[in-house]
A = this chain, B = another copy of it.
Amino acid sequence: MSRSLLVYGGSGALGRALVAHFRSLNYNVTSVDFRENEEADANVVISREDGAAELQVAGPRIASAVAASLGTMKVDAILNVAGGWAGGNILDEDLYKNVSLMLSQSVNSSVIASRIAAAHLKEGGLLTLVGAGAAVSGTPGNMIAYGLAKAAVHHLVKSLASNGSGLPEGARTVAILPVTLDTPMNRKFMPDADFSSWTPLSEIAERLQRWSENSDAVVSGSLVKIVTKDGKTEWINV
Contact = CB atoms under 8 A, between A and B. Distances in A.
Interface of A: 54-56, 58-60, 89-92, 95-97, 99-100, 103, 107-108, 111-112, 114-115, 117-118, 135, 137-144, 147-167, 221
Contacts of A162: 138-141
Closest 6 CB pairs of A and B: A151-B155, A138-B158, A140-B162, A141-B164, A59-B96, A91-B166
Nearest to A96: B59
Interface SS of A by simple majority: helix
Contacts of A150: 155
Given A118-B90, A148-B152, A152-B149, A111 B138 contact: no
B155 A140 contact: no
A151 B159 CA distance: 11
A108 B112 CA distance: 20
